[in-house]
Amino acid sequence: MKLSLATTTLTLLSTSARAFQLSSSHTVLGRPNLTRRYILAGTESASDRVAKVFQGRPEENDAMDELVKKNFPGAISNKELETKVVKILEGKGLNPANTLLCTSLCCDELARNLEDDFNTVYGHNFNLDGVIGKVERSGIALVDSCCGSAIAASNYLKGITDGGAKITTQIQQFSDFQQGAVQELILPFGKRLGDAEDRMKELPYALYDSQDVLVRDIVNTGKGGIKKGLALLSGIQINTAPDTLDYFHPLRFDFYDENGEVVEDLLSQLS
């Protein structure tokens, strides 16, 4: 069985219902107001939506569960993650009718399953734009590489730390600024990855630590727009075979108040 890893961040912003009571003809700077399309109307609870999401999905596989948790202590299935997250947030007053979903995930389609699930619960997301190594894809016999961006960044860093990097005056590529940013963010973790027993296993955690700083900086910069509260969930995605549940290793689950201050660490409630 092959596993794929990727860093993931999900931000859920709760605001007052009045923010979404604009007429359909309302425009902002000459453009139609799009906020309404990101909000799910109706009275169905987030917990009920999650239950529907997993109807027809594979049941938990004991062998896969043991394998994942042996290698990644603290990981839980996506089903357990989503069920617990929405229940906790319901207790904070976040529901599909008053919550905006923002995501920052690997662009690989494997990483989008979790995003699609939360889209079903909370509506369309704003996108902030995993083995790491190998993974089996649905409908494809090939055992493929994933996540390509992370592996490329690791190879770039290895070339520097091992002394084999090609000398070039090209600092950034105009056509791929994001990849250049990933490679720069991972530079401080050269020794950590070089000393790791399993470089590919350690890689997503090193990337997570670098990107966690970036995401929290984004939240801090935009905290003036928080109306009622904000939940920040982040961690490592663990994609498994097509016929088994995917997993997630949560590493941060913070709740911010309307002033943009962290008022509660919710991470322990996911264990």
Task: Identify the DSSP state of 167.
Answer: P
pLDDT of residue 29: 44
Among 110, 126, 117, 122, which Cα is nearest to 34's? 126
Task: Report d(CA 215, CA 9) in Å as an integer.
Answer: 8
Structure tokens that stand for 269 in this block: 């409630």
Question: How much of the chain, in percent, has pLDDT values that exceed 70?
Answer: 64
Confidence of residue 231 (pLDDT cuts 50, 70, 90): very high
* 3-state secondary structure at position 270: helix
For residues 116 and 258, the answer to whether their CB atoms sit within 8 Å is no
* CA 81 distance to own-chain centroid: 12
Write the DSSP assignment of 218-261 as a string of letters: HHHHTGGG-SSEEEEEEEEEEE--TTS--EEEEEEEEEE-TTS-
Question: Is the model's pLDDT at 37 over the cut of 50?
Answer: yes
The predicted model gives 119-123 an average pLDDT of 90
Tell me which of 12-26, 76-90, 151-165, 213-227 is least confident.
12-26
Distances (CA, A) of 2 to 5, 21, 200, 232: 10, 47, 13, 29
Q: Look over the chain and give the mean of its residue pLDDT values, rounded to a whole number.
A: 76
Among 125, 151, 265, 266, which Cα is nearest to 207's? 151
Most confident among 28-32, 165-169, 239-243 (mean pLDDT): 239-243
For residues 45 and 258, the answer to whether their CB atoms sit within 8 Å is no
For residues 23 and 67, the answer to whether their CB atoms sit within 8 Å is no
* 3-state secondary structure at position 79: helix
Sequence-ordered list of residues with C-beta below 8 angstroms from that of 18, at least 6 positions apart, any chain: none
Question: Is the model's pLDDT at 27 over the cut of 60?
Answer: no
Question: Is the model's pLDDT at 111 over the cut of 90?
Answer: no
Q: What share of the chain is helix, strand, coil (3-state, %, to 5)?
A: 40, 25, 35
pLDDT of residue 164: 52
Confidence of residue 241 (pLDDT cuts 50, 70, 90): confident
pLDDT of residue 137: 45
pLDDT of residue 18: 38
pLDDT of residue 7: 59
